[in-house]
Homo-oligomer: A and B are copies of this chain.
Amino acid sequence: MLALYFDRELTLQELPLPQIGPAEALVRVQLAGICGTDLEILKGYHRFTGILGHEFVGVVEGPDKSPWLGRRVVGEITIACGACPRCQQGLRKHCQDRRVLGLLDRPGVFAQYVVLPEVNLHAVPEGLPEPTAVFTEPLAAALSVFEALPPKVSDPFLVIGDGNLGLLISWVLALRGAMVHLAGHHPEHLHLARPYGVHTFLASDLPPGDYALIVEASGAPGGLDLALKRIRAGGTIILKSTYAGYYPLDSALLVVPEVHLVGSRCGPFPAALRLLQQGWVDPRPLISRTFHLSQGLAAMTYARQSGVLKVLLDCR
């Protein structure tokens, strides 16, 4: 099968079909999405070697006896051991021996086929188009901000970053009725948040004042700089950005004003699928361009450009 393989450099390769383990399913990938994290891996983040990619929608083609056979699916990206203390506590996403699709010790989805544990699969509701369903994973990641949100917190909330994740987060916070400010660098991206009632600002033009809640989803160190400048004493910064390299944190900026800095990662697939199915979130305006998998190298180069939002790979 065709696959985008990274081993210090990215190449398009013809690889054997992956082996199906016990309680696993073979999924023929239909569409895959390129995430900012994939681009960070090219810069050395996670020191990953293998097939890239973790956002996908596909159809189960094996094994023959699978109850999932023939079904359209999306899949959670963490492969948990099920046996370690954290798994036993129900914290599978924090499994001590985890593998992560296209990110950590597990081949990803920028390929014609991928193998995933059945427990990771979620059926895609009938009628939900693939270019919508492929956003389930990033939308779930956006929804995970609710798990980090203090129950009583006054808005406006500030979301930093007008990439895919920042936009999705601004939308789901707006769906909760919150007043949301979104700061970014691309007027044409900020524009996509306005139908959701989000107030948008170029980061350089953000009005004065502090925020009780800031979500940092810019994917770059400058986002956390801005968050630390604008957070209210006692406020919460939810950190979604991951990138290669280190952030030089001045701990006094957290300690003195008693700021909560809360990391947030993967989120609930069922909730994401419900929002997509209801049409309350329509991610399709985020699609900048779709390339065929065979043009995967060009797609990655395209996705790296400033001002590009979601780039999809058609793997059929």
Which residues on the B side are within 8 Å of A143 (C-beta)?
177
CB pair B177–A272 under 8 Å, yes or no, is: yes
Which residues on the B side are within 8 Å of A147 (C-beta)?
151-152
CB pair A175–B178 under 8 Å, yes or no, is: no
Known: A197-B277, A197-B278, A277-B197. A271 touches B177 (CB 8 A): yes
- Interface mask (A139-171 → B, CB under 8 Å = 1, otherwise 0): 000010011111110010000000000000000
Chain A: interface size category: 20 to 34
Q: How many copies does the complex hold?
A: 2
Known: A151-B151, A280-B280. A275 touches B177 (CB 8 A): yes
CB distance from A138 to the nearest CB of B (A): 14
Q: A277 to B196, alpha carbons, bound, how many Å? A: 10
Which residues on the B side are within 8 Å of A151 (C-beta)?
146-151
Question: Which residues of chain A have a CB within 8 Å of any CB of chain B?
Answer: 143, 146-152, 155, 172, 174-179, 196-197, 268, 270-272, 274-275, 277-278, 280
Other contacts beyond A174-B278, A179-B274, A197-B277: 8, CB < 8 A: A150-B151, A151-B151, A175-B280, A176-B176, A177-B268, A177-B271, A177-B274, A178-B271
